[in-house]
Amino acid sequence: MNGKNIIEVRNVTMRFGGVTAVSELDMNIPEGGIVGLIGPNGAGKTTVFNVITGFYKPTEGDVVFAGRRITGMAPHAICSLGMARTFQNIRLFYNETALENVMIGRHVRRKSRWWGSVLGLPGTMREEREIRESSRQLLKRIGLSAYAGEIASGLPYGAQRRLEIARALATEPRFLLLDEPAAGMNPQESLELMNFIRQIRDEFHLTILLIEHDMKVVMGVCEHIWVLEYGKLIAEGDAEAIRSNPRVIEAYLGEEVNHAAD
Amino acid sequence: MMTAQREPFSPARNRTFNVIAVALLFLFLWWADGSMAADLGISFLPEPLNGYEVQILNLVAVYGILAISLNIIYGFTGMFSLGHAGFMAIGAYVSALCVLTPDQKEIMWIIDEILPSLATLHTPFWFSVILGGVVATLFALVIGIPVLRLGGDYLGIATLGFSEIIRVLIVNATPITNGSLGIKGIPCHTDLFTSYIWLLLVIYCTVRLLSSNFGNVLKAVRDDEIAAQVMGINVFHTKLFSFCLGAFLAGVGGALLGNLLTTIDPKMFTFLLTYNILMIVVAGGLGSITGSIIGSVIITVLLEWLRVVEEPMDLGFMEIPGIPGMRMVVFSVCLLLIILYRREGIMGMREITWDGIAAFLFRIRGRKENKA
């Protein structure tokens, strides 16, 4: 791996009481790549996400984001540095419209304060219009314009997944973490998702880390893959190396890889 | 026949409607208060409202402010807070201490001497109302920083405790509050125009804030705290902001209430008062400003009208003696029914807008034309 690393996970261990969810993990993610984190259920993948995004403070080790140590920082502060994520089970703001969901994402980049809105100060009102307008533009780029005024809970499943990504993009991230973006999608939708992920990487100049169980998606889109089992890193490398790695096959890939290779 | 699509109103047209509605409201108040006939010197106007009805109209406005303030905390930010009576008490006492004249204070404090610095304090009414709100906000800040880390019911219990603490403090801080004797003879500053101007001011500011992206952020915290954090929202700050804003308006409402009733004492600010406001908010719709207004109109009027059930009744075959507190039983039953059958209240999270009214009229007209 050469070039600059956007995320460095240094020797991170995360324990919950007596359970070690992640142990001595090292990950260096180069800027501009699409990389994957895989492993059987309960391997600690989502824990790694939660450590990186600041929901958990690691028991040992450090997380460095764009050259800056972020261990122990609050999630909202990490977000303002340029990191965004989606969730395994979609977490939209379900009582708000699709447009409002994206607008909420824009809030972190806002400069004016609340009293400006109450008093109707011109600067605040201008920023308010810009937030609304840029959110509309973003929905358009993601292909959700048709749903702008709809309440989020009423959106079809696929649109909800995309809206969650759109909302994450609204915070202007450099690094995006996707937790099982293809969950519940059929093969056709997964294929579209792969193109979509590549497209947003290029258009928004992102680095993307994804957790995924759908091996077709992982092998198809990821340039580098880490494999976790019981919280330990058992392999890393490109799709080809992972596919032929005996430990990975032993751990869980076996059938799936053959299937994906067909 | 196809119903044509209706264009939404432009902001300018909405503003015109708002101005007309406010003008009509003030015309009504002018009449209700009895000064229209006197000012214009005309006699053919219908009889104005009597003092009792004017008082109810005043209460509607004050309860409207209080309901909006609780709605910001509970309906829009999702924090179950039961400390409203405490904030109102602070507002009412601060305002009363500011508007009373030094002479009145000297006569009234009989258990303990009033603090010398407070004895000479005398400010205009509007300033006392704002100061009441500001002091309530300071208390909210102090109580909010430790307590807002709690979620759900725990927050409710903690804020309920806070409001009781305030009440006990008021009873015991005799040199400041005159203890359980309360404060009497507060000048009746809250007339119809004052209370409705305050109500409109509060509505205007809240609607501006809540319809901006800051309002969306409050709702985001209500809907999903974890997702809000990931969106870069400082959830704790947002909650504290909303709690303080609600407390400020509760203080303002309490100050207006004190100046309306002209007498305040610690017994007024028990949990029952919080409960009344909570009932308005829940009945009107959590997360709806128009719902809070409608709720305050309905509940305030009903609360007075239901006094009938507390009087002795003769049903022919049996006589029911007057039972004080009976209307609260009826009210509790109403609240139960609302929670069982219409949990979202009258308005849910929706608002009444000019566009909504126009679309409604449009539909009715369309239906009539279809029939014809």
Q: How far apart are CA A9 and CA A177, in angstroms?
A: 14
β-sheet bridge partners, residue A68: A65
Burial grade of B227 (CB within 10 A; 0-12, 13-18, 19 or more): buried
Tell me what pLDDT residue A3 has.
59
* Chain A environment of B223 (Cβ under 8 Å): 93-96
Q: How far apart are CA B255 and CA A81, in angstroms?
A: 44
Confidence of residue A1 (pLDDT cuts 50, 70, 90): very low
**CB–CB of B98/B263 below 8 Å?**
no
* Chain A environment of B11 (Cβ under 8 Å): none
Q: Does the complex come out with an ipTM higher than 0.85? A: yes
- Using CB atoms, which residue from A79, A92, A128 is nearest to B232? A79
Counting residues of chain B whose pLDDT is more than 90, the rounded percentage is 53
Instruction: For A206-247, write each residue's pLDDT tens digit.
Output: 999 999 988 888 899 999 999 998 889 998 998 888 888 888
The tokens describing A219, both together, are 């092998």
| B226 touching chain A per CB within 8 A | yes
Instruction: For B255-305, write each residue's pLDDT tens digit.
Output: 999 999 999 999 999 998 998 899 899 999 999 999 999 999 999 998 888
| B235 touching chain A per CB within 8 A | yes
Instruction: For B153-167, write each residue's pLDDT tens digit.
Output: 899 999 999 999 999
Q: How far apart are CA B349 and CA B78, in angstroms?
A: 12
Tell me what pLDDT residue B307 has.
82
β-sheet bridge partners, residue A12: A25
- Best to test chain B binding among A93, A106, A153, A174 (most B CBs inside 10 Å): A93
Helices marked H in chain A: 45-52, 75-82, 98-106, 114-119, 122-142, 157-170, 187-204, 215-221, 239-244, 246-248, 254-261
Instruction: For A75-109, write each residue's pLDDT tens digit.
Output: 999 999 999 999 989 999 999 999 999 999 999 99
Model confidence at A2: pLDDT above 70: no
- Best to test chain A binding among B203, B206, B216, B243 (most A CBs inside 10 Å): B216
Instruction: For B232-246, write each residue's pLDDT tens digit.
Output: 999 999 999 999 999
CA quadruple A161, A164, A170, A172: dihedral, nearest 10: -90
